[in-house]
């Protein structure tokens, strides 16, 4: 799997490492430090490159196999969440909450799974239907095609009617 980091933004975990960043609520750390410096990659990338990376990443993402984890800034296999002990130590709060509290683990059965970076047992896309996910993927493919082939890509992205999917 291509695990590109098109935006190279710090992960939520990195934003929570600074002293004083913690803001514990119901066992979850909801705090983070402010992003003082955005990555040089982001500063030096053109708008067209940022759009192309975004559309390529989500058009080709393997939604059936992976969980999108903003907390660590990279995808993890769904199967790893079925056995929480196999997850990296960075998920220690998730592991403790699942083991020690009467809270259900991350819901993996939906077509797309994006883990809430703060309340990590929550799939923020749990109610997204397979049809809606397929429409999103098709729109990402369409966006990728526009960015790669159109000179006035912003106008086309925002004002053209996409094909019926």
Per-residue pLDDT reduced to its tens digit, 32-84:
776 665 566 666 778 898 899 999 999 999 999 999 999 998 999 999 999 99
Q: Is the confidence at residue 15, as pLDDT, over 50?
A: yes
Beta partners for residue 25, in sequence order: 28
12-151 carries CATH number 1.10.1410.10: yes
Query: 3-class DSSP state for residue 24?
Result: strand
**61, 53 contact by CB (below 8 A):** no
Please state, in angstroms and rounded to a whole number, the distance separating the CA atoms of residues 159 and 146.
12
């Amino acid at each position: 799997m291509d695990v590109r980091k098109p935006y190279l933004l710090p992960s939520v975990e990195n934003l929570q490492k600074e002293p004083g960043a913690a803001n514990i609520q119901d066992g979850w750390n909801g705090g983070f430090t402010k992003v003082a410096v955005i990555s040089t990659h982001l500063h030096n990338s053109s708008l067209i490159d940022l759009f192309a990376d975004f559309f390529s990443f989500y058009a080709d993402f393997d939604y059936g196999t992976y969980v999108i984890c903003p907390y660590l800034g990279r995808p993890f296999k769904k199967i790893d969440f079925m056995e929480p002990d196999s997850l990296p130590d960075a998920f220690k709060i998730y592991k403790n909450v699942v083991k020690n509290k009467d809270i259900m683990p991350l819901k993996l059965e939906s077509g797309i799974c994006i883990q809430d970076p703060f309340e990590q047992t929550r799939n923020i896309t749990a109610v997204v239907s397979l049809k809606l996910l397929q429409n999103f993927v098709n729109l990402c493919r369409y966006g990728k095609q526009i960015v790669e082939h159109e000179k006035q890509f912003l106008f086309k992205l925002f004002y053209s009617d996409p094909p019926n999917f």
